Amino acid sequence: MITGKTRLLGVIGAPIGHSLSPVIQNAALHAAGLDYVYAALPVRPDALASAVHGLRDAGIAGFNVTIPFKTEILPLMDVLSEDARRIGAVNTVVVREDGKLAGYNTDAAGFLAGFTEHGITPAGKRAVLIGAGGAARAALWGLLRSSVSEVCIGVRTPGKGAALTADFEADGFVRSCAFDTSAWRDALGAADIIVQTTPLGMSPRTEEMPPVDPATLAPSAVVYDLIYTPAETAFLRAAAARGHRTINGETMLAAQGAEAFFLWTGVRPDMMLMKRVLREELARRG
């Protein structure tokens, strides 16, 4: 029951009505017996600063941040976690007791949870990333934090690959290659871990494939697609048919939410429940 003591959590974005977070977070809060409620909070794109300060001043405990505010919110934070600073985006804000705003990014932790769930250790492995957008940035930082031996980023826009590489070259052996080069094909063939970070294959265009022929991958390579709708993309299906171990984006989505939950409440939520609720909600939406 919502009472006068119930604490408020939420997610800000524009638009925000499609967000899965309220369903997942409220289920986990209820299961943990915590007196919080989590709401979707639409924020006008030209009013981020006043909305953030207003939410803080109205006593919100914390909130998630999604498109289009993840980068724009950085200068509004009083403190930033290392992950938020390195990824260059905030997806979780904690309002501290003194009113200070602490910005976190739980995407890299969520991404790494996908490996953990499958008993895979990225340390010492050769990885390739397909794509160089926002999700690739979090995945790249997660892989480097996990001490992979090298990362090759496959891109269609060389300038974006070069920019991402430049931001992380001090953290490990990182390079980028255009999709149509022999360097990319060589990196793919030698990789232990393939991470697909483009929207290619996402609903409703489920027939699309990234520009990678699964037949060229090393047989032992693990194939991770960050997409969670559908649960199995055409790329993952093709990889599984060739005997590869595959990971989809569901655990990353649930685990980044679980990390945020912990930052706000100090309690570890039931991750399995969060994943189950996520699947049920996706099935309900069709």
Taking residues 28 to 67 in sequence order and writing x for each that binds ligand NAP by CB under 6 A, - otherwise, the string is ----------------------------------------
Among 28, 151, 200, 277, binds ligand NAP (CB under 6 A): 200
- Beta-bridge partner residues of 246: 223
Taking the least distance from each CB to ligand NAP, the nearer of 14 and 202 is: 202
Site for ligand NAP in 119-138 (CB under 6 A): 131-136
Question: Is residue 279 a contact point for ligand NAP (CB under 6 A)?
Answer: no
Taking the least distance from each CB to ligand NAP, the nearer of 60 and 258 is: 258
Burial class (CB in 10 A: 0-12, 13-18, 19+), 261: buried
Site for ligand NAP in 62-91 (CB under 6 A): none
Site for ligand NAP in 101-120 (CB under 6 A): 110
Question: Can you tell me the distance from the alpha carbon of 92 to that of 138, in angstroms, rounded to the nearest whole number?
Answer: 14
- Strands 101-104 and 92-95 turn out to be antiparallel
Question: Is residue 7 a contact point for ligand NAP (CB under 6 A)?
Answer: no
Question: Is residue 156 a contact point for ligand NAP (CB under 6 A)?
Answer: yes
SS3 readout for 150-166: EEEEEECCHHHHHHHHH
- Report the nearest approach of ligand NAP to the CB of residue 275 (Å): 12
Question: Is residue 253 a contact point for ligand NAP (CB under 6 A)?
Answer: yes
**Is 160 one of the annotated active-site residues of the chain?**
no
Site for ligand NAP in 179-198 (CB under 6 A): 197-198
Among 221, 227, 238, 239, binds ligand NAP (CB under 6 A): 227
- Strands 92-95 and 62-65 turn out to be antiparallel
Taking the least distance from each CB to ligand NAP, the nearer of 28 and 95 is: 28
- Beta-bridge partner residues of 94: 62, 102
Q: Which of 70, 125, 160, 275 is catalytic?
A: 70
Which has the closest alpha carbon to 226: 136, 119, 101?
Answer: 136
Among 199, 231, 237, 276, binds ligand NAP (CB under 6 A): 199
Taking the least distance from each CB to ligand NAP, the nearer of 133 and 172 is: 133
Q: What's the Rg (C-alpha) of the chain?
A: 19
Please answer whether residues 90 and 263 qualify as being in contact, where contact means their C-beta atoms are separated by less than 8 angstroms: no
- Report the nearest approach of ligand NAP to the CB of residue 53 (Å): 26
- Report the nearest approach of ligand NAP to the CB of residue 97 (Å): 30
Binding residues (CB under 6 A) for ligand NAP: these are 110, 131-136, 156-157, 160, 197-200, 202, 226-228, 249, 252-253, 256
